[in-house]
């Protein structure tokens, strides 16, 4: 589950500095061929899935498998946990609940406490790449799935 702003580039980036951290993420994806990507970024509201795929290198585009639905918070509530609700809705509709996932996002409050989210307040760099590799190599959560899918 991937956010763009604050993860692949600074949250306040201009068009000339978009995707400055993409190559670091793509390196992880190339190493872990069993991992697919679902876009949770607000960019999904203005770009089609096909367009979102074009931001990635050609060899990885087929692994950008979807976008989460837009679920508005209930009247009178804030957006706490809202992105997690969107992820859960996507999993229920497309893959089935219980499938392991990890999110890359710069806003922790969009997820429930204890959710599998790697918060990237300064973008996706070497430290975050190592943390993601470790999370996705967890034999309990991801190891068997990756071993059978790769």
Domain-located, residue 1: no
| pLDDT value, residue 94 | 80
Domain-located, residue 6: no
Name the pLDDT band for 148 (thresholds 50, 70, 90): very low
Name the pLDDT band for 137 (thresholds 50, 70, 90): confident
Nearest to 122 by CA among 10, 4, 2, 1: 10
Name the pLDDT band for 3 (thresholds 50, 70, 90): very high
Domain-located, residue 66: yes
Domain-located, residue 4: no
State how many domains the chain has: 1
* H-state helical runs in the chain: 22-31, 49-53, 82-90, 126-136, 144-149
Tens of pLDDT, residues 28-45: 999 988 889 999 999 999
C-alpha to C-alpha distance for 22 and 77, rounded to whole angstroms: 33
C-beta atoms surrounding 77 within 10 Å: 10
C-alpha to C-alpha distance for 32 and 35, rounded to whole angstroms: 6
Domain-located, residue 29: yes
Tens of pLDDT, residues 68-86: 998 876 665 667 778 999 9
Domain-located, residue 32: yes
Nearest to 66 by CA among 44, 92, 88: 44
What is the extent of the structural domain holding 55? 15-149
Q: In sequence order, which residues have a C-beta less than 8 Å from that of residue 95 and are 6 or more positions away?
A: none
Q: How far is CA 18 from CA 49, 83, 123, in A?
A: 18, 22, 11
Domain-located, residue 7: no
* H-state helical runs in 3-46: 22-31
Domain-located, residue 144: yes
Name the pLDDT band for 144 (thresholds 50, 70, 90): low
């Amino acid at each position: 589950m991937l956010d763009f702003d604050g993860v692949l580039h600074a949250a306040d980036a201009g068009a000339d500095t978009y995707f400055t951290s993409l190559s670091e993420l793509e390196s992880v994806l190339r190493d872990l061929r069993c991992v697919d990507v679902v876009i949770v970024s607000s960019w999904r509201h203005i770009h089609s899935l096909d367009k979102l795929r074009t931001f990635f290198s050609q060899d990885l585009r087929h692994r950008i498998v979807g976008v989460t639905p837009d679920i508005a918070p209930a009247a009178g509530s804030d957006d706490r946990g809202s992105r997690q609700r969107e992820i859960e809705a996507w999993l229920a509709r497309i893959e089935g609940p219980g499938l392991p996932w990890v999110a890359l996002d710069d806003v922790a409050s969009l997820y429930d406490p204890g959710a599998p989210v790697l918060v990237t307040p300064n973008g996706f760099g070497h430290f975050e790449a190592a943390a993601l590799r470790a999370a996705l190599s967890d034999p309990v959560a991801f190891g068997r799935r990756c071993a059978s899918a790769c």
